[in-house]
Amino acid sequence: MSPHTHEVVPVDGTTRYPPRDQELHRRLVYGDESALGEAYDAYGALVRAVARRVTGSAAVAEEVTQRVFLELWTCPYAFAPGHGSLRAWLSMRGHDGAVARVSEAGAVRAADDAGGPAVPEPEATARAALHTALGELPLPQREALHLACFAGRTYRQVAVELGIAEAAATARLRSALCGLADRLAGPPAPGNPADEARDEC
């Protein structure tokens, strides 16, 4: 067995070594069920944590997690080794699936409230806006931000896992945060002092 280059500490607090992405992908393509189990053991807690942060529900997060790994099993070619890590891909699929579930729930509530005045939920609205903005970021920025914010990685760990220099990881994180700020702030008012602050990004 070839040595692993770095140790990963998942969000559940345990320590384990993740399977190698290319080898795992090859086994998934050939229908090796044990490969799916290894992927779930290594990354299931991360996907669940991402989904729970978006939805605020453990039950919905579990449902989203099951859907993500079902997608990995039934459509292994959806993940392409060499275009990012499996960890980042699964994290983003968990995020996208959770955002979709929040949107579905909002549509159901809107239909239920059609007979009466709609009551806005500020917390849910703000959460949806945040994760929608995150989904609009360029893929490299999303990967870095997911690892830092959802997987609890430092910028040095982000650099190692993405195979980039530490300066590049810092730049991606900074650009991602500035991009989120711009999207959440909306169009600036003329002469708004906040313009200068955003320009510094």
Question: 14 and 77 share a domain?
Answer: yes
- Determine the Cα–Cα distance for residues 77 and 98; give it in Å rounded to an integer: 21
Question: 130 and 44 share a domain?
Answer: yes
Number of H helices, E strands in the chain: 9, 0
b/e 20-48 (16+ beta carbons within 10 angstroms → b): ebeebbebbeeeeeebbebbbebbbbbbb
pLDDT of residue 162: 81
Question: 131 and 141 share a domain?
Answer: no
* Final residue of a structural domain among 135, 167, 191: 135
Contact criterion met (CB below 8 Å) for 69 and 44? yes
* Final residue of a structural domain among 111, 135, 159: 135
pLDDT of residue 107: 55
Report residue 88 as tokens.
């980042």
**Mean pLDDT of each 10-residue bin along the chain, 201 residues long:** 40 48 90 92 91 90 94 90 81 87 67 52 66 80 81 82 88 90 69 47 52
* Final residue of a structural domain among 118, 135, 152: 135
pLDDT of residue 83: 72
**In which domain, by residue range, is 37 found?**
1-135
CATH of the domain at 40: 1.10.1740.10
Question: 57 and 122 share a domain?
Answer: yes
Question: 119 and 169 share a domain?
Answer: no
How many domains, in total, are found in the chain? 2
Beta bridge partners of 8: 16
Beta bridge partners of 16: 8
pLDDT of residue 8: 40
CATH of the domain at 163: 1.10.10.10
Question: 6 and 59 share a domain?
Answer: yes
- Determine the Cα–Cα distance for residues 91 and 47; give it in Å rounded to an integer: 5
Question: 92 and 167 share a domain?
Answer: no
pLDDT of residue 144: 85
For 6, what's the count of Cα atoms within 13 Å in the CB-facing half-sphere? 12
pLDDT of residue 196: 46
